[in-house]
Chains A and B, each alone.
Chain A
């Protein structure tokens, strides 16, 4: 009968958890009434900084679920210096992310060369209709306000890009 002490130990574990829950409260939160702050860098929703986007399509092509839809056209912009040739810029017509398809891998955010996509920790955007989960350019732009400041780099870390 070597298993007998273990049986009582098991009962002790559940009873201990019970008394801890009664005295100190549960580990869970009562969600709609109280909310946990998601950790910084939580992958809630992807926000679009439209000004940075050049509609290069890297995000759309790297998306494993093909849930990013981009349409754009080329426009001529006034030259930078007087007397120069008019510049050709890419204008973004459509930038949609279908969150019914998105699997929150974050590859689009990683791959964006111009810092146009950001993670936001917001998570309360469920919809009664699945089609409403397609967030368009304007809605993705609104999420920008919820993007937290990028945390400080660790001491000694190399800053990428311009020195």
Chain B
């Protein structure tokens, strides 16, 4: 396990680790940058009948670099009464959970960082680490708005963690595995009522689970209409109020990188991930897949991710904010019962067929 052979070249462990780190950086930052430009800058502007950034680069495509440069120049302010150490730690925890999350995402038949047996369990567990980062960011800022935002975020993220996990259980029951790679294969190799033209993407057979999962993801990402914790008009951006410069940039990257990674996980769980229906090329299982899927697979996953992020952002730019009590009621009284019923029906059907 200490050496890996790629194109007949043995790669030592340290080089593997380096490659994995670089790959992780690309897998997190590239989607995040694309999401910010395509959706946050351009799609939002178009939806408001304006053009968005147009000056930096062709059609403003280098705007993000300008923004990053601006943030890096800014002073790194730490409030006097803040708990300095954890104040500085908080954004890193939020971003770290994103990087930990991308570790289990499969990008192709052999293109993965770790092929973890309980992958989705790990992903859901690690995604909730960001709650800690947000909570200590709110606490350490020594600012009552930040604290309020942090507490709201904690309440919301914990509340919506449950329907997300429960929605995933339906998929796990249907695929019979918690391994994300197996879930992808199960969807693409599967068939619906004997017809395998599109495989068995769980967005069709687990539609209720998909809707619940997407709503929960929206809330986990604190995107509108679930942006109560960072409500800029009442809490001055909640837990992010006191952050400036580099640390704000980390929060900002974390927000959209997490959106990208969650969209990847959503497309793996429900849209067939990196795969195309295996029946198209006559594949039967993961070992019979042609090697070029390792190149095309990431692109397919990226396309599906952009599709999912489009929906997330579309909802974000369309809806006004939920009130705090409506938000909690929606999680506990609507989403969780629906997903519990979904699990029950899925289990019964799984046993029956």
Residues of A bordering B, CB below 8 Å: 7, 10-11, 13-15, 17-18, 20-22, 26-28, 30
Contact = CB atoms under 8 A, between A and B. Distances in A.
**Looking at chain B's contact residues, is the secondary structure mostly helix, strand, loop, or mixed?**
helix
Interface residues of B, number: 14
A13 B318 contact: yes
B315 interface: yes
B48 A17 contact: yes
Given A26-B49, A26-B51, 13 more contacts: A10-B318, A10-B319, A13-B318, A14-B318, A15-B47, A17-B46, A17-B49, A18-B43, A18-B46, A20-B49, A21-B45, A26-B46, A28-B51
B48 A30 contact: no
Contacts of B15: none
B50 interface: yes
B252 interface: no
A23 to B, nearest CB: 10
A21 B54 CA distance: 14
Contacts of B54: 30
A150 to B, nearest CB: 35
A17 B51 contact: no
A11 B316 CA distance: 10
Contacts of B49: 17, 20-21, 26-28
B314 interface: yes
Nearest to A25: B51
A18 B47 contact: yes
B116 interface: no
Contacts of B43: 18
B318 A11 contact: yes
A22 B318 CA distance: 18
A14 B50 CA distance: 12
